[in-house]
A and B are shown apart, each in its own frame.
Chain A
Amino acid sequence: MEVSHMKNVNLIPQKNSFLRKVYKQRYLLIMVIPGVIFMLVFNLYPVYFAQIGFKEYNVTMGTNLSLAHWVGLSYIKEFLNSPDFSNVMINTIGISFFKLLVGFPIPIIFALLLNEIKQSKFKKFIQTVTYLPHFLSWIIVAGIMLIWLADSGLLTKALYHMHIVDDTSNMLANANYFWAISVISELWKEFGWNSIIYLAAIAGIDMELFEAARIDGAGKFRQIWNITLPSIAPTVVLMLILSISGLFGSNFDQIFVLRNAVNAPASNVIDIYVYQQSFMYNRFDYATAVGLFRSLVSAILLVGANAFARRSTGNSIF
């Protein structure tokens, strides 16, 4: 007579195989569920508050959103029709575009040149020094810039003597210079760091290809053009997609510390606009709507760029 099945009667679920599976991996689930809860709280829960973008809200309501009445898309419409709209869009896209135009090729060129340095100790030294600005906070970099670009600051005077600027007044108090300042300072800070991935890609190219080309009489530039560039093309395309998908955002940390009332016409990017409308003008509802617009455009850019890459090169992020 079989009695073994009578031993653990109530403790382990027998009949329901799903519950049994859950029980078997209970520790794993305990490890994972907090992460899922985290994402639900910090990524899904905010969507509940996104409704502020469609309701008339004021600060006295606190977090009790039922007090606010529905106004639908009126804030989005207000934004699209406001005089701020073109200014914000031009600044956001303009700054990002120039950062892409200037800041994208330079790390690649730098990686190509650095790869040709034969003295390995010197090469390592260059890497150490050029990667360093990436690790400084924008507060520190802005601190240097605020002093050097000030009235009669070191850089201001130098640029004046080189006839690049008209006078020695504070360059950050001039809306005309802001885009250039933003682009160049970010380039200075990140070109070394951004070159790492290209350097690694170049290092992976088979050396025999170069030797063969040399024997065939190919000069340095020919080698770079015909061997190096095509070999790192997948990496370049991937990085380009990532950069384009971020076109609608901006380097908030940088612009926040460099902007002021005078250069505002040139520094008013969408993230700054959202911040100002909410925390300075107390228009939380309007700001949320603008923020949602921004998130939507960014998401479309990311998904679109990713799909385009997958279709054209076979490489993509997801």
Chain B
Amino acid sequence: MTFKKSRETTGETIFDVVNILIMILLLLSVAYPIWYILVYSFDDAIDASKAAFMLFPRKFTLYNYNIVFKDKAIFHAFAITVLRTVVGTVSSVFFTAMVSYGLSKKYLIGRKIYMGIGIVTLVFSAGMIPSYFVIKSLHLLNSFWVYIIPGLFSFYNALIFISFFKGLPDSIEESAQIDGANEFTIFLRIIIPLSMPVIATIALFNGVGQYNDYFTYVLYITDNESLRTMQNYLYQIIQANTALAMMKNVPAEMMAQNKTSAESLKYASMVVTCVPIVIVYPFLQKYFIKGVLIGSVKG
């Protein structure tokens, strides 16, 4: 006997209406600040500074972006960000997956020791200063590689990979081993293609982490402005010094007409910084969601 859905009671209808109203309120409170930066950046500077509340740019202009893109430093920062995101993510995912594959084999010599070390790293960390000295003694200070090498292995991600690899059927590997393949070849040719969902998810989290990170530069790079990332450059812009510097690119007549302002430039720079993530994000939503769930299921 199947249950038939009975007609909704009045109480339930009220609940649904109130619920929808709450959701709309939440949507507005989340979306409006983001929308506002967008609108402000496309609006004429004087107009924007006068307006209290804006839904659409009242005097649409691309001038703010014009000035932002005249800035050479921003392209350089963008290049560094893209480079570290791509190199860092690919290397970290591959390295962590490779190590994890080995750790997932019960017959690995010393396995319990390695896993034990890993668990300890999750619980206890020596701190910011000791890590700083390690980086210093490895000569990674003021080097591009400080974005890459310390991020190569994550035991947290390793646990996720290990749990996944353990779930793969042994038969595939066994038949490959009979054919004479060693574990590394099996890993490259068979395991990686089979693990694409997990790899994609971990790669996405890694990528976002690389893209949004700003503290690595603050802590480890003091002498090399060419290694600035978009986030660090944006940080400087927001603190006004660099916004004023950007305004040097504005020709005198335009300055006189107040065609742009430090404020508008800040907003335009913010948009430029978060556009890649915002554009890519909706398409990858299901991977992000899956990632949260995978992380919560430990093998």
Contacts and interface: CB of A to CB of B under 8 A. Distances in A.
Interface of A: 21-22, 25, 27-32, 34-36, 38-50, 52-53, 63, 110, 113-114, 116-118, 122, 125-133, 135-140, 142-144, 146-148, 154, 157, 188, 192-193, 196-197, 200, 208, 211-212, 214-215, 219-220, 235, 238, 252-253, 256-257, 271, 274-275, 278-279, 284, 287-288, 291-292, 294-296, 299, 302-303, 317-318
Contacts of A252: 215
A196 B130 CA distance: 36
Contacts of A275: 128
Interface of A (DSSP majority class): helix
Contact of B30 (A27, A133, A291): A133
A173 to B, nearest CB: 14
Given A31-B101, A288-B129, A49 B33 contact: no
- Among B123, B158, B219, residue most surrounded by chain A Cβ atoms (within 10 Å): B123
Interface in B264-299: 266-267, 270, 273-274, 277-278, 281-282, 285, 288-289, 292-293, 296, 298
13 contacts: A28-B183, A32-B102, A38-B99, A38-B152, A42-B153, A43-B121, A53-B129, A136-B274, A137-B212, A139-B212, A154-B36, A211-B3, A299-B123
Contacts of A38: 95, 99, 152-153
A135 B291 CA distance: 14
B22 A40 contact: no
A29 B102 contact: yes
A212 to B, nearest CB: 8
Interface of B: 3, 5-6, 9, 11-12, 15-16, 19-20, 22-23, 26-27, 29-31, 33-34, 36-37, 52-53, 95-96, 98-103, 105, 107-109, 114, 117-134, 136-138, 150, 152-153, 155, 158, 182-184, 187, 208, 211-215, 218-219, 231, 234-235, 238, 263, 266-267, 270, 273-274, 277-278, 281-282, 285, 288-289, 292-293, 296, 298
Nearest to B18: A113
B129 A219 contact: no
Contacts of A36: 99, 114, 117
Contacts of B36: 144, 154
Contacts of A116: 15-16, 19
A196 B289 contact: yes
Given A46-B131, A110-B26, A157-B52, A196 B184 contact: no
B99 A140 contact: no
A144 B52 contact: no
A308 B65 CA distance: 55
Most chain B beta carbons < 10 A, residue from A21, A139, A154, A197? A139
Contacts of A271: 128
Contacts of B234: 139-140, 143
A188 B282 CA distance: 19
Nearest to B51: A154
Nearest to A208: B3
Nearest to A141: B33
Given A147-B266, A196-B289, A252-B215, A135 B133 contact: no
Contacts of A148: 33
B123 A28 contact: no
A62 B152 CA distance: 26
B131 A35 contact: no
Contacts of A200: 289, 292-293
B270 A143 contact: yes
